[in-house]
Amino acid sequence: MNEALTARSLNILRTLVGFDTVSRHSNLALIDWVENLLTENGAVCTRVPSPCGKKANLLARIGQDAPGGIVLSGHTDVVPVDGQIWDSEPFTLTQKGNMLFGRGTADMKSFIAVCLSLVPFFKEHVQKRPIYLALSYDEEVGCLGVPHLLAHTAQHLAHRPAFAVIGEPTMMQVVTAHKGVLSFETVVHGLEAHSSQPQLGINAVHIACELVVFLKDIAAELASTGLRDERFMPPYSTVHVGVINGGTARNIIARECSFTWEIRPLPTDNADTIASRFFAHCQAQEAELKKNYAGAAITSKPISRMTGVTLPPEGEAAASAVMRCAHSNQQHAVSFGTEAGVFQEHGIPAIICGPGNIEQAHKPNEFVEISQLNACADFLMRLAQEPCQ
């Protein structure tokens, strides 16, 4: 990768990091800027807005509309920085030696920046098949945007792309398998009373804590006797409680308590079966509570579902092509989720390969190394010229 291309990638990344695209905010300013850049370089762009109209996916085609296209896919949203202690401004790209700090540098605006920096190269070298850039919204809160993008693709593209490369941070390793995610919010509805008379109330916080312990026990069982796949770390399905909120005051028996939790199953495990054990336990607990108070309830609602990924047989040729271009002879598996499963549900084999380290994602002082951007650019230039259809 030459110095001019490196500088172009850094300038684009600086701009992308400067857009505060935390999932609770709009991404339209970033989409406007990217669409203008792509249009100026001759790409054919299509927006696919969110139902509320405050966000949008962007699909861009570089090259002729022909079979065998490759999708380069990235999400535009990032996780919050609330409560984190940063040594630099998170939405300003800060360079320290070979490291570039800022929210989204690893996850995953660097991949998008490299793709955009290579648009002139793609225009010149893509001959028989197009390159598609697919930018989505709300990946971080459950892959909410990409289904709308792919539904549009299925209806309006004359030719289905051959495969997709999801540029999540893998240190440019080729990943063909990852765990899924199934998340819920559970709410316990109890009965308020004075804390000096606990027998007159139903303490929702106490009930919720008992349910959290039940999930913890399921997690321990999965770790000790559940399915195992040594490609993953950890090599078993996991259950995790992330947030709990409840109660009104120290001296009031809590009327309500909620908590959010998730299952990250191996691709061969069934998250719905795991969740059903918890729901059956909740149903039994609720029946006991209602004996004392008819208004007591335990409810759960799904928050997000991210499909686990294994490489389908029709994706073997794509994986081989990606491995050649990445100068890799090994396929890897990771425990974090991506949009790859949504692509495969729409009949497009997906391989995960991108710059940066997932260990830097979601943390304060998130960073990516410049050498990773250069490695990504070299990979994408080889991929664009890869003869495999």
> Same domain for 318 and 255?
no
> Same domain for 28 and 167?
yes
> Same domain for 248 and 368?
no
> Same domain for 58 and 187?
no
> Same domain for 99 and 132?
yes
pLDDT on residue 157: 86
Task: For residue 92, give the DSSP letter.
Answer: S
> Same domain for 102 and 244?
no
pLDDT on residue 387: 66
> Same domain for 241 and 109?
no
Whose CA is closest to 324, among 281, 240, 383? 383
The count of residues in the chain is 389
According to DSSP, the β-strands at 175-178 and 367-369 are unpaired
pLDDT on residue 388: 52
The set of residues, in sequence order, having a beta carbon less than 8 Å from that of 292 and lying 6+ positions away, is: 202
Residue 363, domain CATH: 3.40.630.10
Identify the domain boundary among 289, 306, 323.
306
> Same domain for 164 and 217?
no
Is 303 in contact with 241 (CB distance < 8 Å)?
no
Q: Left if phi > 0, otherwise alpha if psi is -120 to 50, otherwise beta: which for 273?
A: alpha
Place of tokens 């809160």: 141
The set of residues, in sequence order, having a beta carbon less than 8 Å from that of 346 and lying 6+ positions away, is: 150, 151, 153, 154
Is 68 in contact with 129 (CB distance < 8 Å)?
yes
Distance CA 178, CA 264 (A): 10
Domain total in the chain:
2
DSSP 160-216: --SEEEE---STT--EEEE--EEEEEEEEE-B--BTT-GGGSB-HHHHHHHHHHHHH
According to DSSP, the β-strands at 332-334 and 175-178 are parallel
Q: How far apart are the first and last CA of the chain?
A: 25
Distance CA 208, CA 257 (A): 6
The set of residues, in sequence order, having a beta carbon less than 8 Å from that of 274 and lying 6+ positions away, is: 218, 222, 237, 239, 263, 265
- Secondary-structure percent of the chain, ordered helix, strand, coil, rounded to 5: 35, 25, 40
Identify the domain boundary among 277, 306, 335.
306
Indicate whether 389 belongs to any domain: no
> Same domain for 20 and 63?
yes
Indicate whether 90 belongs to any domain: yes
> Same domain for 45 and 172?
yes
Is 59 in contact with 151 (CB distance < 8 Å)?
no
Distance CA 208, CA 267 (A): 29
Residue 260, domain CATH: 3.30.70.360
Q: Which domain holds residue 288?
A: 181-306
Indicate whether 246 belongs to any domain: yes
> Same domain for 153 and 273?
no
pTM above 0.75, yes or no: yes
Identify the domain boundary among 306, 321, 344.
306
pLDDT tens digit at each of 389 positions of the chain:
578 889 999 999 999 999 999 999 999 999 999 999 999 999 999 999 999 999 999 999 999 888 889 999 999 999 999 999 999 999 999 999 999 999 999 999 999 999 999 999 999 988 788 999 999 999 999 899 999 999 998 888 888 999 999 999 999 999 999 999 999 999 999 999 999 999 999 999 999 999 999 999 999 999 999 999 999 999 999 999 999 999 999 999 999 999 999 999 999 999 999 999 999 999 999 999 999 999 999 999 999 888 899 999 999 999 999 999 999 999 999 999 999 999 999 999 999 999 999 999 999 999 999 999 999 999 999 999 886 54
Give the three-state DSSP class for 311.
Answer: coil
> Same domain for 146 and 190?
no
Indicate whether 315 belongs to any domain: yes
Indicate whether 374 belongs to any domain: yes
pLDDT on residue 150: 96
Give the three-state DSSP class for 257.
Answer: strand
User: How many Å separate Cα 229 from the centre of its chain?
Assistant: 22
Cα angle for residues 44, 49, 51 (degrees, 5° grid): 160
Distance CA 149, CA 24 (A): 19
Indicate whether 239 belongs to any domain: yes
CB atoms within 10 A of CB 7: 11
Give the three-state DSSP class for 224.
Answer: helix
For residue 62, the surrounding DSSP H or E stretch is: strand 56-62
